[in-house]
Amino acid sequence: MNKILVTGGLGYIGSHTVVELLEQGKEVIAIDNLNNSDIRVLSRIEQICGRKPIFIEGDILDKDLLRKVFDEHKPEGIIHFAAYKAVGESTEKPVMYYENNLSGLINLIGVAEEFEVYNFVFSSSCTVYGDTSNSPIGEDEPLQLAISPYGTTKLLGEKILQDLVNFKPFKVVNLRYFNPVGAHPSALIGELPLGVPSNLVPYITQTAAGIREQLVIFGNDYNTPDGTNIRDFIHVVDLAKAHIKALDYAANNDFKLEYFNLGAGKGHSVLEVVKCFERVNDVKLNYRFGERRAGDVVQIWADASKADRVLDWRTELSLETMMESAWKWQQQLGD
């Protein structure tokens, strides 16, 4: 597989994946409506790789545009990132989330079917496991009804793909990401949160940069060693690399549907993350403990051994590297 269509290719995980694909010598066609990304990411990718993807500014809700892209560029595989991803926003605008994330997926598989492009990698999330207490979580952990419309779109997205492969010759790899953080070591690409970040690491870096006054750690009375939540943080560069492995797997194996957890396979508490950020960057962070945030899972981390065994993929970058790269990225933002 040489020509890869990447939806949401200028977004956070998409841009890092485009870099890895280009560095592997692939031809990349990226489509993005810039709803949550910036056109400057394209030249940043070129700075890193010495070349850039073919870029189409457009919306995957536009099925005719998708047909034109498939017709003109003839992709052999698809990595589907384009979606809205803010859990809190999805509770305020559920229909907008269903429409973008589910209609977008349905359009894409519809056009992929028309053009007989059957290799499909889907960005799923650990959110499909819901509020579980069984960490480390393997792929066979029962899925739970989602607690947010965003989560529902991931759960239903997976269900649609699970159904599809029974009737059409698609090969689908569902990648369930845990908590992606950090930025490219060049600090040329990273996460661009619009407005007030709801995720931990952008909130930390913006607080350190003086954009936010104080980080509130949501709860320190959980039943965990230091009382704060535990998550499986994964460096976005490690995560991006897993997509190349997933495409290789699809190219070389006969299967319909596969699921992989993508995480480091170990948990870090929110307080550990804060302390690690302070230590590796030699920055004092203004933070306090506050109330629990509604809907937060107490602790969750992946059993990522299946990806190790089957995809020959494992994380290489430490929490320290995640915190260093996130800070380096924050410091150059706005330059």
DSSP 283-301: ----EEEEPPPTT--SB--
Task: Please give the DSSP secondary-structure letter assigned to residue 128.
Answer: G
**Options 53-61, 183-191, 216-224, 235-243: segment touching ligand WQD (CB under 6 A):** 216-224
**Options 19-27, 56-64, 209-217, 234-242: segment touching ligand WQD (CB under 6 A):** 209-217
Site map for ligand WQD, 276-315, x if CB under 6 A? Answer: -----------------x--x-------------------
SS3 at position 125:
strand
**Options 7-15, 63-71, 112-120, 211-219: segment touching ligand WQD (CB under 6 A):** 211-219
Residues in a beta bridge with 47:
none
Q: Name the residue nearer to ligand WQD (CB basis): 117 or 315.
A: 315
- Binding at 143: pick from ligand NAD, ligand WQD, none (beta carbon under 5-8 Å per type): none
Determine, following the binding rule CB under 6 A, whether residue 8 of this chain makes contact with ligand NAD: yes
- From first CA to last CA, the distance across the chain in angstroms is 37
**What is the C-alpha to C-alpha distance for residues 270 and 107, in angstroms, rounded to an integer?**
38
| Residue 309: both structure tokens together | 């065994």
CA 9 to chain centre: 11
CA distances from residue 200 to 1, 43, 214, 293, 332 in whole angstroms, order as listed: 36, 28, 12, 12, 19
Residues 36-95 that bind ligand WQD (CB under 6 A): 85, 87
**What is the C-alpha to C-alpha distance for residues 247 and 245, in angstroms, rounded to an integer?**
5
Q: Measured from the CB of residue 101, what is the shortest distance to ligand NAD in angstroms? A: 7
Task: Choose among 16, 31, 145: nearest CA to 83.
Answer: 31
Determine, following the binding rule CB under 6 A, whether residue 235 of this chain makes contact with ligand WQD: no
Do you know the residue count of the chain? 335
- Binding at 12: pick from ligand NAD, ligand WQD, none (beta carbon under 5-8 Å per type): ligand NAD
CA distances from residue 36 to 244, 247, 280 in whole angstroms, order as listed: 23, 25, 29
Q: Measured from the CB of residue 209, what is the shortest distance to ligand WQD in angstroms? A: 15
**What is the C-alpha to C-alpha distance for residues 161 and 142, in angstroms, rounded to an integer?**
17
Q: Angle, to 10 degrees, between the axis of helix 319-332 and the axis of helix 200-208?
A: 50
Q: Measured from the CB of residue 316, what is the shortest distance to ligand NAD in angstroms? A: 19
Backbone angles phi, psi at 289, to 5 degrees: -90, 135
Q: Name the residue nearer to ligand WQD (CB basis): 168 or 279.
A: 279
298-321: burial string, b at 16+ Cβ within 10 Å, e else: bbbbbbbebbeeebebbbebebeb
CA distances from residue 261 to 141, 211, 297 in whole angstroms, order as listed: 11, 34, 17
Determine, following the binding rule CB under 6 A, whether residue 152 of this chain makes contact with ligand WQD: no
Backbone angles phi, psi at 108, to 5 degrees: -65, -45
Q: Name the residue nearer to ligand NAD (CB basis): 159 or 279.
A: 159
Q: Measured from the CB of residue 282, what is the shortest distance to ligand NAD in angstroms? A: 27
Interface pick for ligand WQD out of 125, 135, 153, 330 (rule CB under 6 A): 125
Q: Which of 84, 129, 150, 259 is catalytic?
A: 150
Residues 60-89 that bind ligand NAD (CB under 6 A): 60-61, 81-83, 85
Q: Measured from the CB of residue 77, what is the shortest distance to ligand NAD in angstroms? A: 17
- Binding at 207: pick from ligand NAD, ligand WQD, none (beta carbon under 5-8 Å per type): none
Question: Could you confirm whether 84 is annotated as catalytic?
Answer: no
Interface pick for ligand WQD out of 82, 217, 242, 317 (rule CB under 6 A): 217
CB-based closest residue to ligand NAD: 11
Binding site for ligand WQD (CB under 6 A): 85, 87, 125, 127, 179, 198-200, 203, 215-218, 229, 231, 270, 293, 296
- The residues that are catalytic are 150
